[in-house]
Structure 1
Amino acid sequence: MTAITDYINNDFRAIDSQETILAVQDFFMDTTFSHFPVLENGIYIGSVVADDLETFDSDKKISDYKYTLEPFFVRTNMIWLDVLEVFGKNHSDIVPVLDENNHYVGYYELAEIMKFFHETPFIKEAGGIIIVKKPLIDYSMSQITQIVESNNGKLLGLFVSDSNTETIEITIKVTLGIMNDIIQTFRRYNYEIISEHEEDNYINSLKERSDYLDKYLNI
C-alpha cells in the first residue's frame, strides 16, 4: 500500500506573509482551496482562510492579518486516520505538513487523502456491510469482533458511524462467513440491525407474514 507521505504536495508554493492581500485573493480565485499555508521567514505561521480575504484591505499584506490565520497542521509521521481527523476538525480541504523539526514540507489535499483511504481493505476488498445499533453503555468492540469471527467471518474494519448520549451505531465490513448467521447472532446479543440485507431471514419471514396477512384481510 502507498505510504501517506507520498501524497505530500508542493504544486503550489506556500504563501509568504509579505505578499499583498490582492495577490493572495488572485491566488484563491484561480484555485478551489478553502485554506492555504503561510510562511514567515520560511517558518509556518498558520493558514489563511479563503472566505476571510473578502473582508481584508487589498492594499495590505498577509502579515497585517496574522491574527486571523488558523494554526492547524499535521506531522509527517502521523497516520492517515489522525490526518483525516485534522481535516474534519478544521473544515479544510488543505492541511499543511511539518516534519519533526517543525520545517514546512508541503501540504495534503483532502481529495488525495481520500484516494489513500480507498486503497485500504475496508473499501477495496469485497465484503458485506452491516450497521448495528445498541445502547452506549452495553456495546463492546471485542464482542462485535467475536460475533463476526464465531460465524467464520473475517473482519475487514469497523468504525463508529453515529453516537449520542444514549446509543451508538457501528458500521462493520466483513468477508467470508454466512451473512445471515452473523446478523442473527447480533440480534441474539440485542444489537439492532440498521442496514438492510437480502440474506436476512428474520426480516424476510416478517415480510412474508405481512404479505400473508394483507392477502387474508383482502379476501
Structure 2
Amino acid sequence: MDKITDFINNQYKALQVSASVADAADLFLDEDYSHFPILDHDVFLGSISKEDTELFSGADAINDHKYNLTRFFVRNNMNWFDVLEEFSKNHSNILPVLDDKNNYLGFYELDDVLHFFNETTFVKEDGGTIVIEKETADFTFSQICQIVESNDAKILGVFISNKSATKTEITLKISQSNFNEIIQTFRRYNYTILSEHQEDAYLADLKDRSDYLNKYLNI
C-alpha cells in the first residue's frame, strides 16, 4: 500500500506573496480548490481562499492581504487519519504540507486522501461495521477487543466517531458480518448498539413481542 506522503502534490507550485490576487483567481478558475498555499520565497505564510480572491481587487498584490491568509497546514509525519481530520476541521479540500523544520513540501488534495482511505483495511477488507456507545468513563479499547475476539472475530479497524462529556461512540470494522453473539456480548457489558443489524436476535424478539401485543389489543 502507498504511504500517504506519496500523495504530496507539486503539480502547481505555491504562489509567491508578491503575485497578484488576479494570479490566484486564475488558478482557482483552472482548479476547484478552496485554498492555495502562499510563500514568501521559501517561507510558508498561509493559504489564500477562493472567496478572498473574489472580494479583493485583482490588481492588488497578495502581500497587501497577507494578514487574511489562513495558517492551517499538516506535517509530513502525520498519519492519514489525522490528515483527514484536518481537512474536516478547516473546511478545505487542500492542505499544505510542511516538514519538522517548516519547509514547504507541497500539498495534499482531499480526493487523494480519500482514495488512500479507501485502500485501507478498514474499508477494503470484507467484514461489517458495528457502532456502539458507552459512558465515557467506563469504556476501554482493551475490553472492546476482548469482546470481539472472544466471539472468534477480529477487529479490522476502530475509531471514536463521536464523543461528549458523558458518552463515547465507537465505530468498529469486524471480520465477519454475523454479529448476533457479538452484539449480545456488548449489551451484557452495558454497551448501547447504535447501528441496526438484521441478525440482532434481541431486537427481533422485541419486534415479535410488540407485534403480538398489537394483535392482542386490536382483537
- Amino acid across the alignment from 2:116: F
Look up the match of 1:156.
Answer: 156
- Counterparts of 1:82 and 1:171, CA distance in 2: 17
- Amino acid across the alignment from 1:116: F
Quickly say closer, same or farther: Cα 1:130–1:94, change in 2 above 3 A. Answer: same
- Counterparts of 2:177 and 2:194, CA distance in 1: 20
CA-to-aligned-CA distance 1:1-40 (integer Å, 9 cap, x gap): 1111111112222111111112212221222111100111
- Counterparts of 2:27 and 2:58, CA distance in 1: 13
TM-score by length of 2: 0.94
- Counterparts of 2:20 and 2:203, CA distance in 1: 64
Q: What secondary structure is seen at the aligned counterpart in 2 of 1:95? A: strand
Question: Is the contact between residue 8 and residue 106 of structure 2 (CA under 8 Å) also seen in structure 1?
Answer: yes
Look up the match of 1:80.
Answer: 80
Percent of residue pairs identical: 52
- Counterparts of 1:98 and 1:90, CA distance in 2: 16
- Counterparts of 1:141 and 1:93, CA distance in 2: 32
Which ranges in structure 2 are unaligned for 5 or more consecutive residues? none
Structure 1 residue 100: Cα displacement: 3.7
Look up the match of 1:105.
Answer: 105
Question: Is the contact between residue 97 and residue 105 of structure 1 (CA under 8 Å) also seen in structure 2?
Answer: yes
Structure 1 residue 177: Cα displacement: 8.2
Matches within 5 A, 1:46-85: 46-85=46-85
Look up the match of 1:173.
Answer: 173
Number of aligned residue pairs: give it.
219
CA-to-aligned-CA distance 1:146-175 (integer Å, 9 cap, x gap): 110111110011111112122111111111
- Amino acid across the alignment from 1:117: F
Structure 1 residue 110: Cα displacement: 0.8
Q: What secondary structure is seen at the aligned counterpart in 2 of 1:156? A: strand
Matches within 5 A, 1:110-149: 110-149=110-149
Matches within 5 A, 1:172-191: 172-176=172-176, 178-191=178-191
- Alignment root-mean-square deviation, CA: 1.6
CA-to-aligned-CA distance 1:39-81 (integer Å, 9 cap, x gap): 1113221111111222212221001111111122222222112
Structure 1 residue 131: Cα displacement: 0.9
Structure 1 residue 143: Cα displacement: 1.0
- Counterparts of 2:74 and 2:212, CA distance in 1: 59
- Counterparts of 2:48 and 2:149, CA distance in 1: 48
Which ranges in structure 1 are unaligned for 5 or more consecutive residues? none
TM-score by length of 1: 0.94
- Counterparts of 1:7 and 1:138, CA distance in 2: 39
Structure 1 residue 178: Cα displacement: 4.9
- Counterparts of 2:134 and 2:101, CA distance in 1: 44
- Counterparts of 1:146 and 1:27, CA distance in 2: 52
Question: Is the contact between residue 153 and residue 176 of structure 1 (CA under 8 Å) also seen in structure 2?
Answer: yes
- Amino acid across the alignment from 1:122: F
- Counterparts of 1:170 and 1:33, CA distance in 2: 32
Residue 204, structure 1, aligned to residue 207, structure 2: no
Structure 1 residue 216: Cα displacement: 2.0
